[in-house]
């Protein structure tokens, strides 16, 4: 058992990177607890690992006393002097014990402790490995499916791709190679969980970094992304080089760069006429990012034209965008998609108003806040005429009536 123990420690250190001293400490505590359960006490017990033999040894410590009350903890002065004439009252003497079956208990305890330590260590190694890849794209293999997830094998772990993290209309088969965005890594007692996505807005950003050199080297920076996966995405970009057009770089010659990005997605939709699933392309709008929030919102509402952008004095993250009447539906978008994506892209809550609707609102507001003389009808009596009209009627004496 001793040589096997030493060999096991060596392998764990070299191959699993588990510190030998950590295991020895854990086994020692485990054996001390086992000794206490079997022999009723552990306060005086010491567990020592012999580095040369690979054995765990048990020692008990007894105090030299005049009269012994507990032989497990004490030894008489007379007996102590027989061992060594130098002992005095109060001295501590250590005795090596050889309890029956302790070797078997030691081996079993060591095995259990090593296995638990290995599980913890491997879990920690796996967690640290994938934590480094958080917010990055990894390539894996579709392993299996259930009602909640597609499980993607990333090498040493199965990542979880939930329904909401999948691109609508996209389907995979077992053993398909796919790229996924790692957005969360959790370490818990049951193991490491890695959550991945293909619908996440950052997935678009990472794909662009892979496919467009100017994005990878930082010449063109992606400032924000708003996405409804499989349908439409808005990307705000800016250039750090005056000679490089940010939008043109992202789009590429004849849309080549955008096609590289959308080529990574494979959504399909059901054609109502043919009853067949046909491939669709996720539309990507590239927007110029600017410091001025009004101009940025103006850009984000594209392709619709904007007359003006007004900000709420009481809520700095609320903006009203006024568009020509003919562009209202375009500004809002199908099922509100355009304004919704613009809001996510800019970080503002956006209300869209048509020009005529906004004029009516302004007129109503002006009427409500106009001075009294401006809103009074022409036949209204002025305040300086009130005294003349309200003069008291003449008084008549009773004699006059007769």
- pLDDT > 50? residue 394: no
22 or 165, greater pLDDT: 165
What pLDDT digit, counting tens, does each position of 65-123 carry? 988 888 778 889 999 899 998 999 999 988 887 655 566 666 676 667 667 777 787 78
| Fold entry, domain 292-402 | GMP Synthetase; Chain A, domain 3 (3.30.300)
This prediction has a pTM of 0.68
What pLDDT digit, counting tens, does each position of 110-162 carry? 667 667 777 787 788 889 989 999 999 999 999 999 989 999 999 889 999 99
Buried b (16+ CB within 10 A) or exposed e, 284-310: bbbbbbeeebbebbbbbbbebebeebe
Q: According to the model, what pLDDT value does residue 379 have?
A: 41
Distance, CA of 362 to CA of 193 (rounded, Å): 55
Domain boundaries, the chain: 2-122, 133-197, 292-402
Residue 282 near residue 267, CB atoms below 8 Å: yes
Q: According to the model, what pLDDT value does residue 279 have?
A: 85
Q: According to the model, what pLDDT value does residue 39 have?
A: 62
CATH of 133-197, one of 3.20.20.370, 2.40.50.140, 3.40.50.300, 3.40.50.1950: 2.40.50.140
Lowest mean pLDDT among 180-184, 273-277, 353-357: 273-277
- pLDDT > 60? residue 400: no
Residue 294 near residue 309, CB atoms below 8 Å: yes
Site of tokens 């006393």: 65
Q: Environment class of residue 61 by beta-carbon count within 10 Å: exposed (0-12), middle (13-18) or buried (19+)?
A: middle
Find out whether the peptide bond into 58 is cis, omega within 30 degrees of 0: no
Per-residue tokens: 223 = 């400032």
What pLDDT digit, counting tens, does each position of 296-326 carry? 999 999 999 999 999 988 888 999 999 999 9
**DSSP code of residue 327:** G
Q: Which CATH architecture has domain 2-122?
A: 2-Layer Sandwich (3.30)
- pLDDT > 60? residue 386: no
């Amino acid at each position: 058992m001793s040589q096997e123990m030493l060999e096991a420690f060596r392998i764990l250190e070299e191959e699993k990177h588990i510190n030998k001293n950590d295991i020895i400490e854990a086994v020692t505590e485990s054996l001390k607890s086992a000794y206490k359960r079997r022999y009723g006490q552990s306060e005086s017990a010491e567990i020592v690992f012999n580095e040369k033999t690979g054995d765990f040894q048990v020692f008990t410590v007894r105090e030299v006393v005049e009269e012994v009350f507990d032989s497990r903890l004490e030894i008489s002065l007379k007996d102590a002097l027989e061992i060594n004439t130098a002992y005095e009252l109060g001295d501590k003497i250590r005795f090596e014990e050889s309890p029956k079956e302790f070797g078997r208990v030691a081996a079993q305890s060591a095995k259990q402790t090593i296995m638990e330590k290995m599980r913890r260590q491997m879990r920690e190694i796996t967690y640290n490995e994938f934590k480094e890849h958080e917010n990055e794209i990894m390539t894996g293999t579709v392993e299996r499916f259930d009602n909640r997830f597609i499980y993607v094998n990333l090498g040493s772990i199965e990542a979880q791709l939930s329904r909401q993290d999948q691109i609508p209309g996209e389907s995979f088969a077992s053993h398909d190679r796919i790229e996924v965005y790692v957005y969360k890594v959790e370490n818990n007692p049951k193991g490491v969980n890695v959550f991945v996505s293909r619908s996440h807005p950052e997935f678009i950003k990472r794909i662009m970094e892979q496919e467009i050199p100017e994005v990878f080297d930082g010449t063109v920076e992606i400032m924000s992304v708003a996405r409804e996966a499989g349908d439409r995405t808005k990307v705000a970009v800016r250039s750090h080089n005056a000679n490089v057009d940010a939008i043109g770089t992202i789009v590429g010659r004849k849309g080549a760069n955008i096609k590289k990005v959308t080529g990574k997605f494979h959504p399909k939709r059901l054609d109502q006429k043919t009853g067949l699933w046909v491939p669709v392309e996720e539309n990507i709008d590239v927007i110029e990012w600017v410091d001025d929030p009004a101009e940025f919102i103006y850009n984000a509402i594209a392709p619709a034209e904007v007359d003006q952008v007004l900000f709420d004095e009481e809520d700095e993250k609320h903006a009203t965008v006024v568009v020509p009447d003919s562009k209202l539906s375009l500004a809002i978008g199908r099922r509100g998609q355009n304004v919704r994506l613009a809001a996510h892209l800019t970080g503002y809550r956006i209300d869209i108003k048509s020009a005529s609707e906004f004029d009516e609102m302004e007129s109503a507001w002006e009427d409500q806040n106009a001075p009294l003389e401006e809103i009074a009808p022409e036949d209204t009596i002025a305040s300086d005429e009130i005294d003349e009209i309200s003069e008291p009627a003449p008084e008549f004496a009773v004699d006059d009536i007769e």
